[in-house]
Amino acid sequence: MKKQLLITIKYFVAITIVTGLIYPLFISAVSMIVFPGKASGSLIEKDGKVLGSELIGQKFESDKYFWSRPSAVDYNPAPSGGSNLGPTSAALKKFYDDKRKNFILKNSVVDTTSIPNEMFFASASGVDPHISPVSAILQVERVSKARNFDQSKKDKLYLLVDSLTEKPQFGFLGNAVVNVLLLNLELDKI
Amino acid sequence: MITIHEIIQLVFYIVVLTALAPLLGGFFAKVLKGEKTFLTPVFGKLESVIYKVSKINPSEEMDWKVYTFALMAFNFFGIIFLVVIQLIQSYLPLNPQGLPNVEITLAINTAVSFVTNTNWQSYGGETTLGYFVQMIGLTVQNFVSAATAIAVLLVLIRALKTRKGTTLGNFWVDLTRSTVYILLPLAIIWALVLVSQGVVQTFSSYKEVTMLEGAKQVIPLGPAASQIAIKMLGTNGGGFFNVNSAFPFENSTPFSNFIQVLGILLISASLVFTFGRMIGSKKHAWVIYGVMLFLFVVGLSVSVYAEYSTNPIFNTSGLMEGKEVRFGVANSVLWSTATTAASNGSVNAMHSSLSPLAGMITMFNMELGEIIFGGNGCGLYGMLLFVFLTVFIAGLMIGRTPEYLGKKIESREVKWSIIAILLPSACILIFSAIAMKTTAGLSSLANAGPHGYSEILYAFSSAAGNNGSAFAGLNANTVFWNLMLALTMFIARFGAIIPVMVIAGGLVKKNITPSSSGTLSTENLLFGILLLGVILIVGALTFFPALSFGPVLEHLLMGQGITF
C-alpha cells in the first residue's frame, strides 16, 4: 500500500505535466501559428485600436444603430450570464412586455406577429453577437430615419443587411444570422 | 413549430453518433488491451515514459482491494492538490488579472467537483480562477477523472470475463491508457477544430474596449480551447467562462456547437461497443445502446415538443430567453438533453429558462443515475448495475438461477447494486428536503413558486448525478451550498465506484457456466424491454413525487397563465 502512495505522487506530477502543461501549450503553439486571429479573440482593430470582438455583442440602444438582443449583464461579460428567470416568472413577463412594446413603437411595426421573440428575451451569454435577419430588417426604417437617409441610402442599407446575412453553416447547421456589431460598423460607413 | 431544417440537424446528430460509436468503440478495445495501433509510435512513447518516471511495473496485476486503494489515493491526492492551489492562487504564476485567493468552502467545492467528474461551478471562471488553476489544476482533472471511471469500467469487464481469478488489472495502466490513447488524441483534434471556429486559446490579459456607443466593455480571454475540448469529451462540463458553451468565445459557431455536443456523448457511446468487443457479444452491446438511445430520443422529443408549445403567459412559443440566436431552439434542447443524459453538465442555453417540461427532462435524465450514455465509463458501469438487477428479477420470474455472461448473479451483487443506485437518490431527496426547510438553503433562490423549488431539486440532482449543470439562478456560492453539494458529489461518485469494485472483486472469483437453452438471453429485444422497464420503474417511483411539486406543477400553473 505504501508503494501505491509513492506511485500516486510521482504519477500525479507526470500526468500533470502531460495534460496540464504539454497539452495546452501544444494547442496554444499550433493555434497561434495556424489561427492567430481566431485564437486571440477575433478582435476588430482599426488604426491600432481594438474596437471590439467579432464574437462579442455590444450594447446598442440609440435609434441610430441596429439593436443587439437584451443582455442580463449589461453587455459586460466579466462574468458572462443570462437572466435565469423561469417560464413563469413575473419579472420576465414585465421585461418581455416592456421590450416588446418599445420595439413595436420605435420601429413602427405593423404586423406584430412576425417579430422574432429573441429581441424581447435576454440571451444566454449576455453578449449574443447575432440577431435574426428578420429582426435586422424590421429595424432598417428606424435607423434610416434617425440618420436622415434618403431613399437611395435606405436601399443601400437593405442591401447591406442582406449581404451581411450569414447563411446556416455548410447549408444546414444553425440558423441564418446577422452580426450586429459588423452591421453597425458598416452602417457608419454609408 | 419545429422546422424541417431543425429536424434534419437533430437526425444528423443521431446518425453521426451511431455511425462513429461502433468504429471508435472497437478501436478503444484495442488500445485499452495494449495492442499496437497507429497511435503507438508517438503516444506509446508517452505511455512508457509515464511508467518509467512513476516507477510503475505495467505487468503487475492488482486484486480489487489494492486497485481500489490506488484509485482512492490518487483521487484524494487530486482533491488536496486542487484545494491548495486555489487557496494560494494569488502567489502563483499565470494570473495576469491578479485574481485573489479562493475562499475555502468554494475551494473545497470546486476541488471535489472536478475530481468527481461533476464540474459543478459555484464560481464564475472569468472572475475567480487564474490561468494556472484552470490549466494545471482543472484541465488535468478533466482528463484523469474521466480516465478513472473508464478504469473502473475495465475492472468490471475483466471481472465478468475472468474464470475463477483474483486479479483485475493495474489501475495505473488503465488510467494511463485511457488518457493517452483515448482522451488526449481526441482532445487535440477537438481543440484545434474549436480554435478554427473562433474559440480562444491565448495567454494575454483581458481586453478593455470602448464600445461603438461609448460604454466600456471588458473582453475576457484565456487558454480556453484546450480545456473546452476535454471538458466535452471527458463528460466533465466545467466551463472556462461563466456561461459555459453559451459564451461565444467558448462555442462560437453552429459547427463548433455540433462537434461539442457530439463530444458529449461520443466516448460514452463508443465504450458500449468497447464493452461488446471485450465480452465477445456485439448483439448485447447493441441492446444496451438501443436502450440508451431510446431513452435519449424520447427525452429529446418531449423537450422539443415542450419548447415549441405555446407558453400562455407570453403567448408565444420557442422562447429565446437564455438561448443564443446562432444555435436556435432545436440545438439548445439537443444540448440540454445530451448534457444531462451524459453526466456532462456543460450548457449552451440556460436550463433555468427552459419550459417546465424540458427542464423536467433534464432533471429526470440526471436522476436516473446518468446511465443514458452517461459519463465516460461511469455511464456504462451504472447501466450494468441495472443489468444485474434486470437479470436477477427476470431470473426469479422464470425460476432459474440468474446468470449474466455465465456468471451467477447472487445476493452480494444485487445488494451492492442497490446500494450504488439508491445512495445518490437518497442524497437528492433528503438533502433537497433539508434545503427546503432551512433559511441557508432558501435564501439562495432566484425564482419564486415551483420554479424556486426546482432550483433546489436540480442542484442536488446535478451533484448526485456528477453532472454539474444548474438552474443557474441559484446562488450556490454560500457556505451551506458549497459544502452540501461537495458532500453530495463525493458520496455519489465514490458511493458508486466502491460498490462496483466490491462486485467486481466477487464476480472475478466465480466460474463461468456455459449457456444452455434455459439461460436468459441478453442479446434480444425482450431483454432490452425488461431492462428499460427496470430503469423506468426505479427512476419513476423514486422521483415522480419530487418532480410533481416542481416542473409538473409549474407546467400546470403556466397553462393557466399564473406567474410568480
pLDDT digits (tens, 9 = 90+) for A129-173: 999 999 999 999 999 999 999 999 999 999 999 999 999 999 999
C-beta atoms of B124 and A59 within 8 A? no
Note the pLDDT tens digit of each residue in B71-128.
999 999 999 999 999 999 999 998 988 999 999 999 999 999 999 999 999 988 788 9
DSSP string, B157-202: HHHHH-SS--B---HHHHHHHIIIIIIHHHHHHHHHHHHHHT--B-
The predicted pLDDT at position B143 comes to: 97
| Residue B517 forms part of a structural domain | yes
The predicted pLDDT at position B51 comes to: 98
The predicted pLDDT at position B540 comes to: 81
For residue A40, the tally of other CB atoms under 10 A from its CB is 18
| Residue B343 forms part of a structural domain | no
Instruction: Identify the band that residue B401 occupies on the pLDDT scale cut at 50, 70 and 90.
Output: confident
Q: CA-based Rg of chain B, rounded to a whole angstrom?
A: 23
Listed range (B119-133, B261-275, B299-313, B369-383) with the worst mean pLDDT:
B119-133
| Residue B5 forms part of a structural domain | no
Q: Which residues of chain B are within 8 Å of residue A121 when distances are taken between CB atoms? A: 319-323
| Residue B275 forms part of a structural domain | no
Is the pLDDT reported for residue A112 higher than 90?
Answer: no
Q: What are the boundaries of each domain within chain A?
A: 2-37, 42-187
C-beta atoms of B192 and A34 within 8 A? yes
| Residue B505 forms part of a structural domain | yes
Angle at B504 between CA B500 and CA B508, to 5 degrees: 175
| Residue B498 forms part of a structural domain | yes
Helix then strand then coil, in percent of chain A rounded to 5, is 50, 10, 40
Q: Which residues of chain B are within 8 Å of residue A78 when distances are taken between CB atoms? A: 126-127, 206, 218, 220
Q: For helices B140-161 and B254-279, give the axis angle rounded to 10 degrees.
A: 20
Domain that holds residue B488: 378-559
| Residue B535 forms part of a structural domain | yes
Closest among B397, B383, B391, B423 to B410, alpha carbons compared: B391
Q: Which residues of chain B are within 8 Å of residue A69 when distances are taken between CB atoms? A: 320, 325
Contact (Cβ atoms closer than 8 angstroms) between residue B6 and residue B330: yes
Instruction: Identify the band that residue B209 occupies on the pLDDT scale cut at 50, 70 and 90.
Output: very high
Contact (Cβ atoms closer than 8 angstroms) between residue B246 and residue B154: no
The predicted pLDDT at position B447 comes to: 93
Closest among B288, B39, B35, B44 to B153, alpha carbons compared: B288
Q: How many CB pairs under 8 A join A and B?
A: 360
DSSP string, B380-396: HHHHHHHHHHHHHHHHH
ipTM of the modeled complex = 0.96
Q: For strand A177-179 and strand A130-131, is the pairing parallel, antiparallel, or unpaired?
A: antiparallel
The minimum CA-CA distance between B189 and chain A, rounded to whole Å, is: 10
The total domain count for chain B is 1
| Residue B352 forms part of a structural domain | no
